[in-house]
Structure 1
Amino acid sequence: MTVTWSPQQQDDLRAAAIAWLSARTNDGLDALTSEQINEFTWGRERFRLMDAQRGIRKPRQFTSALSIRTTFRPAGAERPYEDDLGVDGLVRYKWRGDDPAHPENRSLRQAMHERVPLIWFWGVGVALYKPVFPVYLIAEEQREQQFVVATDGLQHLESTGSRVEEVMRRYLRQETYRRLHQPVFRSIVMRAYEASCAVCQLRHSVLLDAAHIVEDRHERGVASVRNGLALCKIHHAAYDAGILGLTPDLRVEVRADILDEIDGPLLEHGIKRLHDTPLMVVPRSRRERPDPELLEIHYERFRAS
């Protein structure tokens, strides 16, 4: 017979799991494989943080869910459940099936009532997940068969009913992208480019960024791998500043005035020598390579500069 743990024991495990994931992911920077996630131990024994078959993990010792999972979707494919961002700037997580009384849906509802932190394992590759933590379930929309998810620090914000409502919505949307969508976008891009700078092949994760080909505020600036480039911080800054450009056929160009400039070895060897060279790293899958139309948008802007 399984004994339900006390609220304190459950809270302790949640806190330990989040601390462990923070350490294993370089403070939330990196993704983990399923095998790595399964290495978590509690009381010297393995303790599963993510369910291998189900999207919702409720340990038998718990009164509510511990984690949720979103499956990886290759470019052009559909997920069995589509989690989306609402007009309020908060993301939604779909029920399991359409039965509100399903045990997994009840476990999410209980987590919402208990206001406990959950871990969201977001698939960014085959058996590869970006853990997002902590997240909180703050409401349920039964007609749409989904829960409303907020990130840390936002779980108690409620509608003001005043003119500042739109300001709050923008803030919530920005925070959701910062804490959920941007880290997921980074992990997808890093996986596609094998954690290497596309321009110079640098492979130190902490020195790499997931750059947007066209910025996320652009009407086509979606957080998709085809709108992404893995760039080291120097080349990311150069790309955004219009010092480096990338042609639709994936060749690097350097702005003319920079080519004429005389400076130290970093400019000479780190920037100027790249002119008219192909990208050093491109995704193996053609479906994940940069979108030529998006490259054209940025390249025309680069040429105009």
Structure 2
Amino acid sequence: MEWLAARTNDGADWLTREDILDFALEGEPRRLQPTQTGIWKPRDLQAALSIQTVYRAPGRERPYNDDLGPDGLLRYAWRGEDPDHPDNRALRAAMKMNKPLIWFFGVGMGPAVFQPIFPVYILWEEPQDQRFVIDPNVGRGLVTESSPIEEHLKKYLMVETKRRLHQPVFRSTVLRAYRSRCAVCALAHKELLDAAHILPDRDEEGIASVVNGLALCKIHHAAFDANILGIRPDLIVQVREDILREVDGPMLRHGIQERHGRRLMALPHARSEMPDTGLLETAFDRFRSA
């Protein structure tokens, strides 16, 4: 996990499957990640080391369900239906031994790209639903299987889970789709880029999906959120009238005003990852009424 933290700049960057194969322990190559399955247990360990969620383009379902439950906790499906499958036993062992796991979350294909989330823990098992309850180091010591989760704690779990899992996954998915370039100005310094929501995630339509995302530099992200600039459904940038009339320095003139009427400069290659026109239309209506 220390190696992953260093390789991902403390979780800011994604890794390809090839990158992850670089790991070695005491000079010996060691595999950290599942390949064909979702659960990986090295032969010489007593419990599983990592789990995996593969990437699926928007509109395509994953082959198994792993998502946030109504109590604010994450679920990860068994492998198959047999509770004694070796992979399920390996996760059960990690749960009983309270061992940390790595969650490799797919954020792109061709090549396969993953956002490692760690440490995560298994809190308990739900055999009736053939799944485990996964915690990104948020709920340990706060929740138990037998005690009901109060509403304020549920909200805390949801907020923290979103921060520790969904936000880094969303960021990596969006920046990877836009090839680490600002959609408005094509700036290519990843450290100066954000994954901006077209509609805020607090909105009912503000889904954590690449189709609700734009890679934007810090300046254009702030301008977008402040309704200084908007993006039409046909991907043309519009700048607010009062800002267009304003006289200021070169940043305003070249960075904001000159983008007015121009098409976005960076977009995903995959049609399925393009910004959703319905979401853009809703956001642009809000921009016009600002």
TM-score (norm. length: structure 1): 0.92
Q: Which residue of 2 aligns with 1:51?
A: 34
> Are 2:257 and 1:272 aligned?
yes
> Are 2:248 and 1:263 aligned?
yes
> Are 2:72 and 1:89 aligned?
yes
Structure 2 CA distance for aligned equivalents of residues 168 and 206 of structure 1: 33
SS at match of 1:124: strand
Structure 1 CA distance for aligned equivalents of residues 40 and 147 of structure 2: 36
Deviation at 1:278, TM superposition (A): 0.2
Structure 1 CA distance for aligned equivalents of residues 182 and 163 of structure 2: 22
Deviation at 1:245, TM superposition (A): 0.2
Q: Which residue of 2 aligns with 1:5?
A: none
Q: Which residue of 1 aligns with 2:201?
A: 216
User: How big is the alpha-carbon RMSD for the aligned residues of Structure 1 and Structure 2?
Assistant: 1.3
Unaligned runs of 5+ in 2: none
Structure 2 CA distance for aligned equivalents of residues 107 and 302 of structure 1: 51
8 Å contact 2:138–2:157 — kept in the other structure? no
> Are 2:71 and 1:62 aligned?
no
2:101 pairs with 100, 111, 118, which one? 118
Unaligned runs of 5+ in 1: 1-17
8 Å contact 2:24–2:30 — kept in the other structure? yes
Q: 1:38 to 1:161 in 2, by over 3 A?
A: closer
Structure 2 CA distance for aligned equivalents of residues 120 and 161 of structure 1: 26
Deviation at 1:45, TM superposition (A): 1.1
Structure 2 CA distance for aligned equivalents of residues 121 and 142 of structure 1: 23
Q: 1:278 to 1:180 in 2, by over 3 A?
A: same
Q: Which residue of 1 aligns with 2:3?
A: 20
Matched residues, percent identical?
57
1:282 pairs with 262, 267, 288, which one? 267
| CA deviation map 1:32-75 (0-9, x unaligned) | 00000010010101100002222111011100000000111112
Give the number of aligned pairs.
287
Deviation at 1:161, TM superposition (A): 6.1
Structure 1 segments of 4 or more deviating over 3 A? 159-162
| CA deviation map 1:122-150 (0-9, x unaligned) | 11111111101111100101111000011
State how 1:191-230 maps to structure 2 within 5 Å.
191-230=176-215
SS at match of 1:237: helix
Q: Which amino acid aligns with 1:248?
A: P
> Are 2:58 and 1:75 aligned?
yes
Q: Which residue of 1 aligns with 2:227?
A: 242
Structure 1 CA distance for aligned equivalents of residues 228 and 80 of structure 2: 50
Structure 2 CA distance for aligned equivalents of residues 25 and 62 of structure 1: 25
Moved more, 95-104 or 198-207: 198-207
